[in-house]
Amino acid sequence: MFVTFEGIEGAGKSTAISHLAEFLREQGHDPVCTREPGGSVLGRSLRSLLLDARTGVLSSRAELFLFLADRAQHLAEVVRPALEAGQVVLCDRYTDSTLAYQGYGRGLDIEQLRSLDQMATGGLKPDLTLLLDVPVRCGLERAGERNKALGTVVAEGRFDAESLDFHERVRAGYLALAAEEPDRFAIVQAAESPEDIVLQCRSALETCLHLRGRGLD
């Protein structure tokens, strides 16, 4: 089963993923937690190029193809093998990030993005996408605090440094994507406490499993 987590910076995806993984382990499963960009060996190099503010201005298209290269390698090296082995994959960001950031944020054509992404993924879609939705100011404040604590202001700050407007477009884009595919998406109110976010994620996961009427494979 393939579960993806989406949202603007500071929505709380990493905390939600680690709690959900713990929950799955308690149920006797062996989940794989991974992320984009940076889930593969190649991806870790691409991640530093993509997120480092010192990379400077990348053209939107160059940026897009780096994210897609990261995704293609990540699927081949990590995601597909885990799914084939029957594991649950919890992935921090996937195709919807490309549609939201490069499409709604940067203004690249959504239909073109869908077809290029299809080429990178071979059409692999998540079974469930948890969209952690948070007002932009709240998300950016949280991300700022996290960056300060981790000392990542320059090394991973290229997107955090984008304008409020950019992040508003990304957030609105995510909500539009979720409205198009209500069966795949669950919207989590992520301005709440971390405990409450985890409960909402858990309940969406359980609902999805129940609706699918099968186990976690």
Q: What is the per-residue DSSP string for 37-85?
A: SSSSHHHHHHHHHHH-GGG-PPPHHHHHHHHHHHHHHHIIIIIHHHHHT
Q: Name which of 55 and 207 has its Cβ closer to ligand TYD.
A: 55
Q: Which is nearer to ligand TYD, 28 or 151 (CB)?
A: 151
Which x/- pattern over 80-99 shows residues binding ligand TYD (rule: CB under 6 A)?
Answer: ------------xx---xx-
Site string for ligand TYD, 24-43 (x = CB under 6 A): -----------xxx------
Two tokens at 188?
């989590």
Q: Of residues 102-121, which lie at the interface with ligand TYD (CB under 6 A)?
A: 102
16: helix, strand or coil? helix
Are 186 and 204 in contact by the 8 Å Cβ rule? The answer is yes
Q: Does 72 help bind ligand TYD (rule: CB under 6 A)? A: no
If you compute the radius of gyration of the chain from its CA atoms, what whole number of angstroms results? 16
Q: Is residue 78 a contact residue for ligand TYD (CB under 6 A)?
A: no
Residue 101 binds ligand TYD, judged by CB under 6 A: yes
Residue 110 CA from chain centroid, whole number: 17
102 or 129: whose CB is closer to ligand TYD?
A: 102
Residue 67 interacts with ligand TYD (CB under 6 A)? yes
Alpha carbon distance 153, 141 (integer Å): 13
206 alpha-carbon distance from chain centroid: 20
Based on CB atoms, which residue is closest to ligand TYD, 9 or 133?
A: 9
Binding site for ligand TYD (CB under 6 A): 9, 13, 35-37, 51, 67, 92-93, 97-98, 101-102, 156, 159
